Amino acid sequence: MSNDDIGEVTSLLQAIQNGDETANDRLFELVYEELRSQAERLMLRERQDHTLEPTALVHEACIQLIKADVPGKAQNRAYFFAAAARAMGQILVEHARRRKAAKRGGSWKKTQLDDLIDAYEKGIQREIASLELAIEELEKLNPRQATVVRLRFFFAYSVGEVAQLLEMSEASVKADFRKAKAFLFSQLEEDA
C-alpha cells in the first residue's frame, strides 16, 4: 500500500463517519488487495487442503466489518486493519469448528489414532481460545499492544510492516510486542 493510499484510507474513514455513502465502496476497493494479502498470509498457517480460499476469507471478513459498522467506528486505518485481522481470525476458527463438527457426524469407525488426533485438536483449540481471551484482556489495558500482537502473530507482519501500518517506530513496536508477550504469558500461566 503506497503512502498516498495510506492517507486515503484515513480520509475515507473520516468521510464514512461524516455520512458519505459512497466512501464505503471506495474504501473497500482501496484496501481489498491489502486484505487479500493478509488473508493469504493467514492461510499459509492453515492445512494444505483447507476448503476456505483467501478470496472467500476476505469477502466474509468484509461482510462482518460492514455488519459491525467498523468503517463508521474506525478512528484510523490501524483500527480498521486490526478489526479486519480479528474478523479473519474468528472466521478461520469458526470454519475449523464447523469442519470438526461435520467430521464427527460421518459414518467412519473411530480408531485410537482418531482419539489421539481429537485430543490434540481439542488441546490446540483450548490454547487458541485461551490466547484470544488473554489478548482481549490485554486490549482492555493497552489496545495498541493488542493490535501489535494480532498483526505480528495472526498476520505474521514484520516489525517494519507493523511500524508502518501503525505509524510507530520499530523500537516502539518491538517494545510493545515484548511487553505484550510477557503479559500474555502471565495470563496463560494463570489459566494453566
Averaged pLDDT, groups of 10, the chain, 192 residues long: 68 90 89 87 64 82 88 84 83 72 52 57 64 87 91 83 89 95 88 62
Structural class in CATH, domain 109-192: mainly alpha
Q: What was the pLDDT predicted at 119?
A: 57
Q: How far apart are the C-alpha atoms of 134 and 156, rounded to whole Å?
A: 19
Instruction: Read off the C-alpha cell for 133.
Output: 481471551
pTM of the entire predicted model: 0.61
What is d(CA 186, CA 190) in angstroms, rounded to the nearest whole number?
6
Q: Where are the domains of the chain?
A: 1-107, 109-192
Helix (H, G, I), strand (E, B) or coil at 49: coil
Which CATH architecture is the domain 1-107 placed in? Orthogonal Bundle (1.10)
pLDDT at 192: 59
Q: How far is CA 57 from CA 21, 51, 93, 111, 156, in A?
A: 25, 10, 12, 33, 17
Say yes or no: do domains 1-107 and 109-192 share a fold. Answer: no
